[in-house]
Chain A
Amino acid sequence: MSESDRYLDELRRALPRGRRRRVVAEIRSHLSEGIAAETANGLDPDEAERVTIERLGPAEQLAAQFTSTRRVGTRTFAALAAGALAIVVVGVLGVVHTQRAPSRPQVARLTTAPPARVYAVGRIKLAQNATLRGQIQIVAMHAYVHAKTTPRLNAQRAAFQAYVRAHSSARH
Chain B
Amino acid sequence: MNGDALRGHLELLLLAALAQGEQHGYALIEWLRVQSEGALELGEGSVYPALHRLEAAGLVGSSWQRIAGRRRRVYRLTKLGQKRLGEERQGWASLVRTVDLVLGSA
Contacts and interface: CB of A to CB of B under 8 A. Distances in A.
Contact of A62 (B45, B73, B91, B92): B45
B18 to A, nearest CB: 14
Judged by DSSP, the binding face of B is helix
Contacts, number: 128
B49 A68 contact: yes
Contact count band on A:
35 or more
A57 interface: yes
Contact count band on B:
35 or more
B72 A81 contact: no
Judged by DSSP, the binding face of A is helix
A135 B95 contact: yes
Interface string A34-68: 10010000000000000000011110011001101
Contacts of B30: 37
B5 A84 contact: yes
Interface string A125-157: 011000110011001000000000000000000
Nearest to B42: A57
B103 A93 contact: yes
Interface of A: 22-23, 25-27, 29-30, 32-34, 37, 55-58, 61-62, 65-66, 68, 70-72, 76-85, 89, 92-93, 96-97, 119, 123, 126-127, 131-132, 135-136, 139
